[in-house]
């Protein structure tokens, strides 16, 4: 059975999240229904990151198995045809390399969190921006972000419902930059704990408001307790930008699980 | 009566355009109703550019007169409060200088047209992008754009319903740049003819597809006839970015009217 790797873009707003659920439309169900309409088959569609309700993606990676080989351009355009008018589309379809698994083979994930930092609420892009009306000091946020980069126990920075057995993660990238009225928080790691990105953003926003110092972030990290970190930033500012795969990497030798529920 | 200048952002999608019309909600009516809810007054709200159905704005300028002076921060936040949940907001409220008129005092307007140039349709930002699936050569588009820059009779580049007595305009800026899968066409002039920006974009897109040459654009300009230019690009890719005012400029001595209907 040939396995296909798809790169997906979606607007998370109308969905209950990536994962198929009884309480509303999911991105996974939208894709699985489109695959069925095209092929008459119902292979499960597996994703690199199980994004939460309202979280967007510009570079989600999924895989699925079909009973026979089909041209990748046909797969891409036929699934897109059947996805209409839902805000989900296949950017690229490729034959997956042997042993490829969208979730378990992923070695790096990058998210972007967008804040609009001005008095007025957004009229454009309002579904993709967290509106923070009070002033935010980006230099203080960037400095405090450096506390979190590296190999740490991120127990303070995961939701209480997170089921990962270990909170040890290596955060490679946590960059805070201003672009006019917008602030971008770019975050990269092999994998993340549940809500980790949004809790880090909610915490850094307290630093930007000068309610917290860099030292408070150090204390929160050391506490290894969710109650000591800042609030969880709202989902709609978050977007999964990119997932990378390093072929030949032996994932079993790596102590970090490659799960990712944002 | 004090006159106030407001900088406005809006998503054009749910509106019939800037101007109040009987056939649907307009941005002008949304603002006038919000001003009435706040002040009990019904001053007309005048805009720098009367954007068409579906056209967006990040820097529209309007003015209105109130019967008494009020703090500008109160004006901004009270109008925004009453605009909810419509996708229109006041970014800045200021006391207007003497003699200021949002439309007639404007000396420069800048628009951006956004094209998404890839096979897959957009799932995010779909209301702000013109989807062109076939490949576009941006270098050819940028070269052909230079034909249109300068002082010309733009009769070929205005809608047949345009009521401006003269088609003579000075185009200061017509820049085509690629940003990954997005192409931006940035356009600046004192004022524009009806649909001028969208017809220029529709024409340059023919050059990008290599259906037209730079010479065909020269021929279209020289023809002074709408039938000789390319198609009108769809409205939702267009956004009014900025309007400038040069105080003390004597508009009556300028041969170009300062109208602008995009």
Q: What is the ipTM of this complex?
A: 0.88
Q: What is the pLDDT of residues A62-95, one digit of tens each?
A: 999 999 999 999 999 999 999 999 999 999 999 9
Nearest Cα residue in chain B from A85: B123
Q: What is the pLDDT of residues B33-44, one digit of tens each?
A: 999 999 999 999
Give A140's DSSP letter.
H
- C-beta atoms of A89 and B122 within 8 A: yes
For residue B88, give how far its alpha carbon lies from the nearest alpha carbon of chain A (Å): 5
Length of chain B: 262
**Max CA distance (Å), chain B:** 58
Give A103's DSSP letter.
T
Q: CA-CA distance, B14 to A122, in Å (whole number)?
A: 15
Q: How far is CA A119 from the centre of its chain?
A: 28
Whether B3-95 shares its CATH topology with B106-247 is answered: yes
Architecture of domain A3-95: 2-Layer Sandwich (3.30)
Q: Closest partner residue to B90 among A11, A120, A124, by Cβ?
A: A120
For residue A200, give how far its alpha carbon lies from the nearest alpha carbon of chain B (Å): 24
A119 has a chain B CB within 8 A of its CB: yes
Give domain limits for chain A: 3-95, 108-248
- With contact defined as beta carbons under 8 Å apart, do A249 and A99 qualify? no
- With contact defined as beta carbons under 8 Å apart, do B203 and B230 qualify? yes
Nearest Cα residue in chain A from B239: A124
Percent of chain B with pLDDT over 90: 93
Measured between beta carbons, the chain A residues lying within 8 angstroms of B121 are 80, 89
Q: Write out the H or E segment, with its range, that includes residue A75.
A: helix A72-83
A58 has a chain B CB within 8 A of its CB: yes
pLDDT of residue B63: 98
For residue A130, give how far its alpha carbon lies from the nearest alpha carbon of chain B (Å): 15
Measured between beta carbons, the chain B residues lying within 8 angstroms of A119 are 76-77
Residues facing B137 on adjacent strands:
none
Architecture of domain A108-248: 2-Layer Sandwich (3.30)
Q: Considering the candidates B11, B52, B216, B260, report the single residue annotated as catalytic.
A: B52
Q: What is the CATH number of domain B106-247?
A: 3.30.70.660
The tokens for A164 are 């990962």
Q: CA-CA distance, A250 to A248, in Å (whole number)?
A: 6
Q: Closest partner residue to A121 among B80, B124, B239, by Cβ?
A: B80
pLDDT tens, per residue, chain A with 262 residues: 999 999 999 999 999 999 999 999 999 999 999 999 999 999 999 999 999 999 999 999 999 999 999 999 999 999 999 999 999 999 999 999 999 999 999 999 999 999 999 999 999 999 999 999 999 999 999 999 999 999 999 999 999 999 899 999 999 999 999 999 999 999 999 999 999 999 999 999 999 999 999 999 999 999 999 999 999 999 999 999 999 998 655 454 444 555 677 8
- C-beta atoms of A123 and B80 within 8 A: no
């Amino acid at each position: 059975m040939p396995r296909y790797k798809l790169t997906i873009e979606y607007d998370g707003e109308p969905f209950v999240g990536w994962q198929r659920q009884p309480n509303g439309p999911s991105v996974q169900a939208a894709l699985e229904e489109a695959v069925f309409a095209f092929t008459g088959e119902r292979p499960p569609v597996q994703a690199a990151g199980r994004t939460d309700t309202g979280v967007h993606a510009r570079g989600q990676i999924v895989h699925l198995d079909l009973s026979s080989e089909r041209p990748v351009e046909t797969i891409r355009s036929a699934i897109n045809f059947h996805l209409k008018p839902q805000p989900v589309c296949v950017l690229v379809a490729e034959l997956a390399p042997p042993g490829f698994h969208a979730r378990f083979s992923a070695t790096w994930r990058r998210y972007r969190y967008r804040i609009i930092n001005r008095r007025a609420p957004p009229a454009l892009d309002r579904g993709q921006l967290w509106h923070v009306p009070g002033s935010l000091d980006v230099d203080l946020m960037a400095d405090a972000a450096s506390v979190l980069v590296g190999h740490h126990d991120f127990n303070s920075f995961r939701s209480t419902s997170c089921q990962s057995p270990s909170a040890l993660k290596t955060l490679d990238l946590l960059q805070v930059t201003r672009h006019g009225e917008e602030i971008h928080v770019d975050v990269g790691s092999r994998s993340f704990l549940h809500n980790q990105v949004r809790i880090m953003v909610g915490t850094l926003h307290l630093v930007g408001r000068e309610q917290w110092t860099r030292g408070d972030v150090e204390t929160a990290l050391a506490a290894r307790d969710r109650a000591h970190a800042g609030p969880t930033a709202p989902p709609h500012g978050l977007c999964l930008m990119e997932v990378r795969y390093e072929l030949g990497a032996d994932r079993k030798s790596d102590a970090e699980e490659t799960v990712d529920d944002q």
